[in-house]
A and B are shown apart, each in its own frame.
Chain A
Amino acid sequence: SQQGEEDPQALSIQEGENATMNCSYKTSINNLQWYRQNSGRGLVHLILIRSNEREKHSGRLRVTLDTSKKSSSLLITASRAADTASYFCATESINAGGTSYGKLTFGQGTILTVHP
């Protein structure tokens, strides 16, 4: 079963606009990560936010995490045509031993299209 549910499934915007994608998950997590996948390519790690963090920035990316609602959002500001890709959230959950090593669970992804 998929841990994460992403919303929207597809997003189409104009260059220069901001893009916001949301992710929800079901279990307690150690961290949440966002990845980008260009068509036909592998996944590229964008940013990680730990369970005790609420917001994180990296360049034009801003990630928020609300553990009480089990949700996260990824904001891409001033989007570019090169940002066109699929974006996935992924979580590392905590096991009975209190560690998270080994299991990354993905959402179904948001397809972002940025028109020049």
Chain B
Amino acid sequence: NAGVTQTPKFQVLKTGQSMTLQCAQDMNHEYMSWYRQDPGMGLRLIHYSVGAGITDQGEVPNGYNVSRSTTEDFPLRLLSAAPSQTSVYFCATRWGTDMFMGYTFGSGTRLTVV
């Protein structure tokens, strides 16, 4: 049971390049989400999914696309990277029921756009 696996761990992009951040989970959790963490800003929600085929926008969705074709995978696509997207990206799944629940986070992808 690997939990939430994010790849790559580090990435440097040039402005205008595109890339996909991968997130995979083996816990059969329906809910998955992407956050970005900037210094002094805490974490902000980019996109989330409540199940295969269903996605929705979070607080800061511009410049990012997502899709959810399987329960296990929730990739985040940067269409045309900008320096403002330099950040640490975390994928998370939501587990449990309303009575006892929490979120499991991956170890993050540190992205630098130059």
Contact = CB atoms under 8 A, between A and B. Distances in A.
B26 interface: no
A104 B103 contact: yes
Interface in B5-48: 31, 33, 35, 40-45, 48
Contacts of A1: 59
Given A103-B58, A104-B33, A45 B104 contact: yes
A35 B31 CA distance: 18
Interface residues of B, number: 27
Interface residues of A, number: 23
A48 to B, nearest CB: 6
B48 A103 contact: yes
Given A102-B50, A106-B44, A33 B33 contact: no
A102 B106 CA distance: 17
11 contacts: A1-B59, A42-B106, A43-B105, A44-B105, A88-B43, A102-B50, A102-B56, A104-B103, A107-B42, A108-B42, A109-B42
